Amino acid sequence: MATTRKETTTPRKTTPTATTPTATTTAAKAAAQAPDPEVVVNETPRITGPELKKKELIDTVVARSGIKKRDAKPVVEAMLAVLGETIADGRELNLAPMGKLKITRMKKTTKAHIITTRLRRTEQHQSDAPDPLAQAAE
């Protein structure tokens, strides 16, 4: 036996709008003073090349700074060790022009210590900042 359902509709309640001149000008002033909303765009990460290895990093530092490789290698290795220890301790990094690195999650497994981070960079550091390594070698 089939049953049918009777559809019922209820009238909508409408709210009265302000039609007085003072209410409309006040609303217009409030809208004019409100800050523009900031548009956030989620970008999909693009892999533009192979990962950067320590040897390539040292070669790039040597090319940009003009110092000898034997002088640059211990400095780069010490810097990487300090950065690794700092991140493992759970401390945040704020290093211009690289950006601000914040640790969001840490997890220890039997084979690894997994650290999830966020890196925030401002647009001005990416393009406007002079190359500090080139100035140091002069």
Question: Mind listing the pLDDT tens digit for each residue in 17-59?
Answer: 555 556 566 666 666 677 777 777 777 778 888 999 999 999 9
Burial of 1 (0-12, 13-18, 19+ CB in 10 A): exposed
Question: What pLDDT does 123 receive?
Answer: 79
Q: 0.75 cut: is pTM over it?
A: no
When the pLDDT of each residue in the chain is averaged and rounded to a whole number, the result is: 80
Backbone angles phi, psi at 100, to 5 degrees: -105, 125
Question: What pLDDT does 37 receive?
Answer: 78
The domain segmentation of the chain, as residue ranges, is 52-89, 92-125
In the structure, what pLDDT confidence band is assigned to residue 125 with cuts at 50, 70 and 90? very low
